[in-house]
């Protein structure tokens, strides 16, 4: 299926009939950009105070959608015509809420950089593609991507609360704000029924939670009615860009269709606000497991310590860091890309400092539809039939004896040629090689080892 998804979707059911026309409030953000968290309502312009800041529909209607509105909010951008070119090429939308997380109207600010069009998006090296993951090639029916054996992804809508400048689906998201038609949904349902090997359906987009709750429920109910589907996952960035969308009414609807899982997309600790925490808590309290998919972004989160802070903050909100994505080879995102070696360095830093619960899997979603490939620092140094040599986070090398067989002859002692080498570990002649001094050894020297193991029962 080569056609753009956007062409075959329909107008989204975001706004209800009584909604005001978009842009009617004259909302602005620029004078209030120094707060460290969401600007309190008292700091907002009169028009915004009058409106209900906590109403997600108001937030959607009052998104910054044009360069004029952007410059109105960020006067420093005036005269930067390249921004208009970038916004013409890739849609612009920023919720008032997300704009209020901006601390400085500059591309040095991570939230600003993720939201505001940048001339660098026009940079177009030849290896970038509109659809590097070739999702359109793995689309047996419009709107359904079937790449992995047991999973399928449904593009429910092309609308997002905010159009992230680093989006993988720049070719679709926001080009036209549309959502799936009943006819498409029925074809998707038929496909899922005909493929009982699909047990996990991901509702994605765009952002499914920009749809009105009844419209979203129709999709979820249709998928849930396929009895071979076990898990429904929703990919949404609304806890980050529109947390007021996580209403009690939405959560009540979702919990009727368990098992429902949600993956969200925090990229930087500046996105942790009281509203975001409350949104995550509401979902977690409803028994919805939460995961997070961070994209590794140059100048935003390509720093080991910042990534540690992000992962710790997520776990505190009961959100499991699930994936750390290498930036895809998507047209318009070259300035966000980092070397894979930097990602490995970050993973190396996290291991040993954070519990496994807080460490995401670093993956490269391979160009050409190759799927997600986990990338790890190398912890296996060498292996032989008798021993595998492993490295821990401290740099300690450990010889792990493989199971004995009649052919193997482990453990013959050091050869007497001096200090052990990796070769001695691989041959089983030495058990380990370790750095002379580590924090762990320091801690050990500060207490006397227990003479009786703690876990002895009499
Ligand atoms: S919310 Fe997701 S789909 Fe929408 S623009 Fe951001 S990354 Fe893309």
Our mutation pick for probing the ligand 1 site, out of 87, 90, 159, 169, counting the most ligand atoms within 8 A of Cβ, is 169
Q: How far is the CA of 173 from the centre of ligand 1 (A)?
A: 7
pTM for the full predicted model: 0.85
Decide: helix, strand or coil at residue 320. Answer: strand
| Structure token digits, residue 160 | 């997002």
CA distances from 200 to 113, 294, 422 (A): 34, 21, 44
Collect contacts of 14-22 with beta carbons under 8 A, ≥24 apart. 14/57, 14/60, 14/159, 14/177, 14/210, 14/211, 14/212, 15/57, 15/60, 15/61, 16/57, 16/212, 19/57, 19/61, 20/61, 21/61, 22/61, 22/62, 22/63, 22/65
Q: What angle do CA 174, 175, 181 make, to 5 degrees?
A: 80
Decide: helix, strand or coil at residue 387. Answer: strand
Beta bridge partners of 387: 401
Our mutation pick for probing the ligand 1 site, out of 237, 263, 271, counting the most ligand atoms within 8 A of Cβ, is 237
The set of protein residues with a Cβ atom below 6 angstroms from ligand 1 is 160, 163-164, 167, 169, 173, 205-207, 237
Q: How far is the CA of 237 from the centre of ligand 1 (A)?
A: 7
Atom of ligand 1 nearest to the CA of 174: 5
Decide: helix, strand or coil at residue 204. Answer: strand
* 8 Å CB contact between 6 and 176: yes
Question: Ligand 1, atom 8: nearest CA belongs to which residue?
Answer: 167
Question: Pairing relation of β-strands 151-155 and 144-145?
Answer: antiparallel
| Structure token digits, residue 56 | 């997600």
Position 406 scores a pLDDT of 63
Read off φ and ψ for residue 8, nearest 5 degrees: -110, 15
Our mutation pick for probing the ligand 1 site, out of 5, 130, 145, 164, counting the most ligand atoms within 8 A of Cβ, is 164
Domain 135-374: CATH superfamily, name plus number? Aldolase class I (3.20.20.70)
Q: CB within 8 A of 208, min separation 6: which ones?
A: 156, 157, 216, 219, 234, 235, 236
Domain with CATH 3.20.20.70 in the chain: 135-374
Would you mind telling me the total number of residues written for the chain in this entry? 458
| Structure token digits, residue 142 | 């419009």
Cα 95 to Cα 19: distance, rounded to the nearest angstrom: 16
Position 419 scores a pLDDT of 80
Position 417 scores a pLDDT of 58
DSSP string, 108-168: TSHHHHHHS--GGGG---TT-BSSTT-GGGG-SBTTEE--STTEEEEE-BS--SS--TT-T
* 8 Å CB contact between 376 and 347: yes
Q: How far is the CA of 388 from the centre of ligand 1 (A)?
A: 43
Cα 247 to Cα 151: distance, rounded to the nearest angstrom: 28
Q: How far is the CA of 328 from the centre of ligand 1 (A)?
A: 13
Atom of ligand 1 nearest to the CA of 206: 3
Question: Ligand 1, atom 3: nearest CA belongs to which residue?
Answer: 206
> Which positions are catalytic?
147-148, 151, 160, 164, 167, 169, 328, 365, 372
Atom of ligand 1 nearest to the CA of 205: 3
Atom of ligand 1 nearest to the CA of 160: 4
398-418 as b/e, with b when 16 or more CB fall inside 10 Å? bbeeeeeeeeeebeeeeeeee
Position 407 scores a pLDDT of 61
Q: Mean pLDDT for each 10-residue chunk of the chain (458 residues)?
A: 37 38 29 32 51 90 94 84 90 96 93 96 93 92 95 97 96 91 98 98 97 98 98 98 98 98 98 98 98 98 98 98 97 97 98 96 92 95 92 94 71 59 85 84 76 49
* 8 Å CB contact between 253 and 225: no
Q: How far is the CA of 212 from the centre of ligand 1 (A)?
A: 18
* 8 Å CB contact between 297 and 327: yes
CA distances from 365 to 234, 236, 237, 238, 368 (A): 19, 19, 19, 23, 9
């Amino acid at each position: 299926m080569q056609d753009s998804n956007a062409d075959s979707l329909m107008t989204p059911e975001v706004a209800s009939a009584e909604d005001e026309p978009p842009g009617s409030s004259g909302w602005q953000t620029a004078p209030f950009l120094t707060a460290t968290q969401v600007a309190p309502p008292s700091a907002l312009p009169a028009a915004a105070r009058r409106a209900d800041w906590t109403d997600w529909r108001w937030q959607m209607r009052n998104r910054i959608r044009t360069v004029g509105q952007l410059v109105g909010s960020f006067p420093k951008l005036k005269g930067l015509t390249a921004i208009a070119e970038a916004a013409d090429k890739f849609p612009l939308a920023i919720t008032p809420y997300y704009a209020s997380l901006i601390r400085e109207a500059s591309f040095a600010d991570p939230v600003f950089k993720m939201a505001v069009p940048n001339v660098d998006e026009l940079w177009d090296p030849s290896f970038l593609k509109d659809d590097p993951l070739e999702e359109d090639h793995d689309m047996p029916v419009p709107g359904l991507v079937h790449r992995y054996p047991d999973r399928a992804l449904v593009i429910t809508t092309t609308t997002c609360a905010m159009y992230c400048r680093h989006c993988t689906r720049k070719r679709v998201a926001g080009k036209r704000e549309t959502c799936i038609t009943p006819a498409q949904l029925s074809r998707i349902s038929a496909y899922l029924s005909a493929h009982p090997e699909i047990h996990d359906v991901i509702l994605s987009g765009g952002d499914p939670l920009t749809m009105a709750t009844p419209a979203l429920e129709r999709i979820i109910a249709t998928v849930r009615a396929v009895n071979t589907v076990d898990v429904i996952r929703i990919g949404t960035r609304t806890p980050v860009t529109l947390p007021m969308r996580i209403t009690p009414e939405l959560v009540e609807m979702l919990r009727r269709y368990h098992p429902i899982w949600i993956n969200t997309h925090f990229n930087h600790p500046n996105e942790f606000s009281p509203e975001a925490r409350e949104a995550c808590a509401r979902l977690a309290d409803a028994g919805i497991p939460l995961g997070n998919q961070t994209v590794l972004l140059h100048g935003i989160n390509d720093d080991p310590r910042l990534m540690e802070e992000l992962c710790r903050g997520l776990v505190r909100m009961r959100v499991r860091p699930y994936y750390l994505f290498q930036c895809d080879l998507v047209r318009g995102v070259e300035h966000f890309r980092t070397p894979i070696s930097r990602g490995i360095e970050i993973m190396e830093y996290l291991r040993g400092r954070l519990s496994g619960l807080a460490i995401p899997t670093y993956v490269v979603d391979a160009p050409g539809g190759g799927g997600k490939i986990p990338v790890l620092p190398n912890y296996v140094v060498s292996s032989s039939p008798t021993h595998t040599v492993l490295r821990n986070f401290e740099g300690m090398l450990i010889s792990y004896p493989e199971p004995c067989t009649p052919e193997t002859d482990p453990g013959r002692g050091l050869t007497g040629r001096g200090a052990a080498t990796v070769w001695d570990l691989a041959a089983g002649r030495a058990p380990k090689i370790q750095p002379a001094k580590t924090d762990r050894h320091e801690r050990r020297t500060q207490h006397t080892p227990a003479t009786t193991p703690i876990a002895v029962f009499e």
